[in-house]
Structure 1
Amino acid sequence: MPPKSSSSGPSGFTKSYLLAYNTLNLAAWGTCVTYAATLLLSGTDLPTIFKRTYSPLLLATQSLAILEILHSLAGLVRAPLMTTAMQVASRLLLVWGIMYPFGGDILGAASRKAQLGDYAYLGCVAAWGVTEVIRYGFFAITLSGNTVPEWWTWLRYNTFYVLYPIGISSECTLIFQALAPAANISPFFPYALTVILLVYIPGSYILYTHMIAQRRKVMRGKSKAN
């Protein structure tokens, strides 16, 4: 969550709140990634990784992001409302609308054998988790008044080139896998998910180009400063 610029940046209670919010998210996402990686490296099967990391850990951690929409609406941060809402909505759809009702169908929990959905879930955890550790860490350091190391800034504005495609492709895979079981809830649910998949095409382009523009602005500013 980017704080406002220093000339009109947060102060007092707002600054303390944003620092606490970003630090909490840094710790939560760091726990998600570390726990999932530890299970994977220990040879735990993918369906079990889903069962152990999804609820309540990932579910609660990702649900915290809904506050970012409120922060943008309230003017606490300078993050664009539309891009913030798009990203948060897509994540909430995945954790509440796909993983929650269809975990046993598309994530191998029933068969105890890894399915395509299990790999997509792991892709989401990796892409979301690493991205958020870097992002929330960046903002926490900034809000604490310290100088962000150049290597952390580089990670903040460059790793999305790889992580974003991994995250988007994993999300779309999970939504596609949920089309069949969604019909058991409502005959209209698969059509709604199909529309969402179609929305991902322009939505992904908007978010990706927004991040590229952010990177260009920051990297250009750093090159001029040097």
Structure 2
Amino acid sequence: MASTTETTTLKPKSTQPGVVRQYLLAYNAVNFFLWSTLTFRTVRLLINQAIENNLEFDIPAIFTDTYTPLLQVTQSLALLEILHSLIGFVRAPLFTTALQVASRIFLVWGVLYPFNENIIGVDNIGEYAYLGCLLAWGVTECVRYGFFVMQVNGGVETVPSWWQWLRYNLFYVLYPMGISSECILSVRALPNAEKLHPLYWWFIVVVLGIYVPGSYLLYTHMIRQKRKTSKVKKDQ
């Protein structure tokens, strides 16, 4: 549901078995690499198109270069975060983690996979919503996974203060950007979802209905996380 997944908190280094730390380090490093690749590819394509086409963008071309298989694989890896929370590898609320991951999987596989031809290349609304998701998700995840790589490797005290600031403040802008883009893509899929099957139309409608309370829950949760982190820093 979110364009930010700020809920994952690693256990203190001393409480994690060495093999778990090494696994989490590898997991977060792989995700950081994939999201960085996706984000820089998107930005590079936008810059090249702006220069070559006099500030006109070919978003269908960006979709082709980013969605298959890069976004599909990168976003699908987040399913492991539900498992991490469930088995206690990280101190993350299972419900909010599952809610966030499920919303992203829904967008990537439940909306874009079956209906991309009816959304991308049709009009600017759906296209810029896809671009909004790419940028909101990408920037957020680069910061988040980079944070965890440094935290697992050397402890939270090794994370630069400016990086911590980015992690706990970017969501104020990126969350509304991501959530609105996700909702637009879902709404644009509705006419063709009904053609596919009436129950699929209702499925998307139900998901959109969950977005409103779910978005409020996750946004306020992230604000509480930020306040908690700020309080800890003041007490140190």
Q: Same fold (TM over 0.5)?
A: yes
1:178 aligns with 2:189: yes
Amino acid at match of 1:91: R
User: Which one of 76, 93, 102 corresponds to residue 89 of structure 2?
Assistant: 76
Q: Counterpart amino acid of 2:18?
A: G
Matches of 2:137 and 2:197, distance apart in 1 = 29
Is residue 2:24 matched to residue 1:24? no
Question: What does residue 144 of structure 2 align with?
Answer: 135
1:67 to 64, 75, 80: 80
Equivalence map 1:116-135=2 (5 Å): 116-135=125-144
- Unpaired segments of 5 or more residues in structure 1? none
Contact 1:106 1:174 in 2 (8 A): yes
Higher helix share: 2
Is 2:36 the partner of 1:35? no
SS in 1 for 2:169: coil
Runs of 4+ in 1 over 6 A off after TM superposition: none
> Counterparts of 1:1-226 in structure 2 under 5 Å?
1-8=8-15, 10-43=16-49, 45-108=58-121, 114-145=123-154, 147-225=158-236
- Quote how far apart the aligned CAs of 1:7 are: 4.9
- For residues 69 and 61 of structure 1, what CA distance do their matches in structure 2 show? 15
Shift of 1:11: 2.6
Normalised TM-score (structure 2)? 0.90
Matched residue type, 1:17: Y
Instruction: In structure 2, give the amino acid aligned to 1:190.
Output: W
Q: Equivalents in 1 of 2:21, 2:224: separation in Å?
A: 26
Alpha-carbon separation, structure 1, partners of 2:47 and 2:86: 41
Identity of aligned residues (%): 55
Range with greater deviation from structure 2 (184-193 or 213-222): 184-193
Q: Supply the distance in 2 between the matched residues of 1:2 and 1:223 (Cα, whole angstroms).
A: 19
